[in-house]
Amino acid sequence: MNQAIELIAVLNSLACTCLYAKQKSTGWPLGYLSLILYGYLFFKAGLYANMTLQFIFIALQSYGWWQRSVDKSKENVLEITHLTPKLAIKLITLVIIFTILISSILKTNSHAALVTLDAFLMVSCLTNQWLLAQKILENWLIWLVIDTGYIILFAEKHLYLSAMLYTVYLVIAMYAYVTWKHQYDGEARIAPKARL
């Protein structure tokens, strides 16, 4: 039963991620099924931080979908930008603080599995999701680190289909980075001419 649920979640997640990488808002409504199924799977696996993350993502998914449905012109409003060193330091500090906080809460109040890795990946996902929403190019490089962490976590919890999905996510993140970089370089070439 859990393998069938995992397979459906994997296939749906893969479709959504491809749509996100192509900057298509149709990924928003499709994401609900994956989030609900993964919430269930993470509960069963004792990965409570990532189970909670699925509910947070449902709220974010709802907001993103609502934003796109209210004003369709928002599809490409933001231009791709770079992560500044100052912002990177702030975000790394936040990830460390919240990883320690959440893992401490889970260690004290539950029988969660792989608590520190689970908490780190949850906090990193939320942080990087914000970078993605801001169209910061380096978010795709950070996904490479996060996805590698998930491969380890899922393999340890015998969620092998999900580990394979995150291996595919590595390729998608590399593709998205190259695509966004190409678009950014094109925007950078056009911007100086527009000022003339």
**pLDDT tens for the 196 residues of the chain, in order:** 789 999 999 999 988 877 876 767 777 778 889 999 999 999 999 999 999 999 998 988 887 777 666 765 555 567 899 999 999 999 999 999 999 999 999 999 988 889 999 999 999 999 998 898 788 999 999 999 999 999 999 999 999 999 999 999 999 899 989 999 999 998 776 655 443 3
Q: Which two tokens stand for residue 142?
A: 């950070």
Domain boundaries, the chain: 2-72+79-195
Instruction: Name the phi and psi angles at 12, rounded to 5.
Output: -65, -40
Q: Could you tell me where the DSSP H helices lie in the chain?
A: 2-21, 27-45, 48-70, 85-109, 115-133, 139-156, 160-195
**Rounded-to-integer distance, Cα 138 and Cα 135, Å:** 9
Give the predicted TM-score (pTM) of the model: 0.83
With the C-alpha atoms ordered 44, 128, 25, 179, is the resulting torsion angle positive or negative? Answer: negative
**Rounded-to-integer distance, Cα 92 and Cα 139, Å:** 13
Partnered with residue 8 across adjacent β-strands are: none
